[in-house]
Amino acid sequence: TMAHSKALLVLENFIGGKFVPCSSYIDSYNPSTGDVYCRVPDSGKEEVELAVKAAKAAFPVWSSKSPLERSQILNKLADLIEHDLEEFAQAESKDQGKTITFARTIDIPRAVYNFRFFASSVLHHTTECSEMTTVGCLHYTLRTPVGVAGLISPWNLPLYLLTWKIAPAIACGNTVVAKPSEMTSVTAWMMCKLLEKAGVPPGVVNVVFGRGSKAGEALVCHPDVPLISFTGSTLTAQRITEKSAPHCKRLSLELGGKNPAIIFDDADLTQCIPTTVRSSFANQGEICLCTSRIFVQRGIYSEFVKRFVAEAKKWKVGNPSDPTVNVGALISKEHLEKVKNYVKKAQAEGARVLCGEGVDSLVLPADNQKGYFMLPTVIAEVKDESKCMQEEIFGPVTCVVAFDTEEEVIERANCVKYGLAATVWSSNVGRVHRVARRLQSGLVWTNCWLVRDLNLPFGGMKASGIGREGAKDSYEFFTEVKTITIKH
C-alpha cells in the first residue's frame, strides 16, 4: 500500500560520486520480524556499464596519487565510519538479523579497522631487485594498480567483508565497482554517503546494488573489469570462474567451509568448551569459519558432550536488538528452512539431536514471532558420510563425534571437499604442530578461534577457495607486477 511504501527505506546506486535511482527494485526483509523494510535497486547490465565507465574515468588520477595521499583518505573514511559506529551497527543488525552486540563489537569495528590497516600497510611494501654482474644487468620489479576491480561480497558479514576488499583495492590505486549481497545492502549504501567527505574522488568507489545473477554476473562478464574479488559460496564461485574464463580475469575466491574442531583428551576444557560453543554458534553460525564438525577423543567424549550441551543451552535466542541476546535471526526464510532440513535429514539417518531444533522449545518475543529464528542445535552420532558432516550448513548447527587416535582424526577431518579453517585443542605442543601441519586447511587455530593478524594470509584450500588475502597477499592481488632489466 502507499502508506506502507512511504515508510520503506529506498536505496540508490552510487555511481561516479552520485546517488542514482534505478528503474526497478527488490524488497529486502528485516529477518527478525519478517517485514519488508527496505527496497534495493535491481541493477543489471546498464547500471554496471555506467559504474564501470565511472571507475575507468577515475582511474588515471587515483592511480597516480602517492600511497600516502590515498592512505590519508582511507584513514579519514575510517574515522567517519567510526564516528557513526552505533548507527552502522543498528543498521547491520536490522538488515542482517545479527545481534546488535555482534555488530557493535565485531562487524563495524572491523570495517573501520580494515581501512586503517590497509592505509598503513600499503605504505610499507617494497619491490624486488637482483643483480647479474656477469652480464652487467640489474633487474627490479615494479607494482602498479590493475584498473577497475569488481568486488562481490556475501550477506553474513556485510560491511566487514566488503571493506576487506574495498580498502586494499583502492589503497593500491585501483578504482572499484562493488556489488554487495542483495539481502544486506544498507550499510554499504550508508558508507557511500561518507565517501565525498572522506575525500574519495567521484568514481573511485562505485556501488551497484542488486541480485548476483543479474548485477553480479554483469560485473563478472564486463570486459573492462580485469579482476574479481569474490567472497561467497563455492557454487557461485564455479559460475564466476566459468563466466570470467573468456576474459582471463584474475580471481580471488574466498568460499565456504566445513570446519573441524579436534579436541584431544589433554585439552583444557574450561577454555575449549565456551570457545567451541562460540565457534559453532557465533553470528547464528553464519560465518565461513564456524565450527560444524567436532571430533572429541573417546576418553573425554561423554564429559565434553554433557558440558558442551549445557553451555549451548545458555545461549539466548531472540530480538537481535536486545543486548543480552546471543543468537539473532537467520538471514532469510529460505535459509532457515534449509538449515532446519539438515537437522531433519540427520534425524532420519539415525543421528541424535541433543539440544535445539525439534527437541527444545523456542520462546520468542511478540514482535519476533515471524522472524527467522532457530535454537543452537547439537547433533551426535552422525556418520562421517552424512550430508550434515559433508555439506556446509551455515546455521547454528554443529555435529559432535568421537575419535580414538591422532592418525584417524586427521584423516576424518580431511575427508570433506572443503579446507578453510580448523581448530585443534591439546596441551601437547608436539601434537599440535604435527596435526596442524597435516590438516588440509588454510587456517589452523590451536587452543583458540578467530584470532586474526591481518598481516598474514587468509583463505582456503580445496573447495574453500583460490588465493589468499592479507597485507602482502592483497597487495599482490590488487597490483600487476612487472620485471624490468637494465643493462649498464
Question: Hunting for cell 607494482 — which residue is that?
Answer: 143
In angstroms, what is the minimal distance from the CB of 320 to ligand NAP? 19
Cβ count near 193 (within 10 Å):
12
How far apart (Å, rounded) are the C-alpha atoms in residues 406 and 277? 23
Strands 418-419 and 461-462, bridge-based pairing: antiparallel
The grid cell for 111 is: 570495517
92 part of the active site: no
How far apart (Å, rounded) are the C-alpha atoms in residues 183 and 179? 11
How far apart (Å, rounded) are the C-alpha atoms in residues 308 and 305? 5
Cα-based torsion angle of the residue sequence 112, 466, 67, 77 in order, rounded to the nearest 10 degrees: -20
In angstroms, what is the minimal distance from the CB of 420 to ligand NAP? 6
CB nearer to ligand NAP: give 51 or 380: 51
What are φ and ψ of residue 342, in 5° steps? -60, -40
In angstroms, what is the minimal distance from the CB of 290 to ligand NAP? 8
In angstroms, what is the minimal distance from the CB of 212 to ligand NAP? 2
Specify whether the CB–CB gap between 346 and 357 falls below 8 A: no
In angstroms, what is the minimal distance from the CB of 65 to ligand NAP? 29
CB nearer to ligand NAP: give 181 or 297: 181
CB nearer to ligand NAP: give 173 or 459: 459
CB nearer to ligand NAP: give 274 or 457: 457
Q: Which residue is nearest to ligand NAP (CB)?
A: 212
Residue type, 80: L
What is the torsional sign of CA 129, 132, 135, 136?
Answer: positive
Q: Which residues are near ligand NAP by CB under 6 A? A: 152-156, 161, 179, 181-183, 211-213, 216-217, 220, 231-233, 236, 239-240, 254-257, 288, 392, 394, 420, 460, 465
How far apart (Å, rounded) are the C-alpha atoms in residues 379 and 282? 17
CB nearer to ligand NAP: give 102 or 301: 102
In angstroms, what is the minimal distance from the CB of 158 to ligand NAP? 10
Task: Kindly name the residue from 12, 47, 182, 254 that is annotated as catalytic.
Answer: 254
Residue type, 28: S
Q: What share of the chain is helix, strand, coil (3-state, %, to 5)?
A: 45, 25, 35
CB nearer to ligand NAP: give 173 or 232: 232
As annotated, the active-site residues are 254
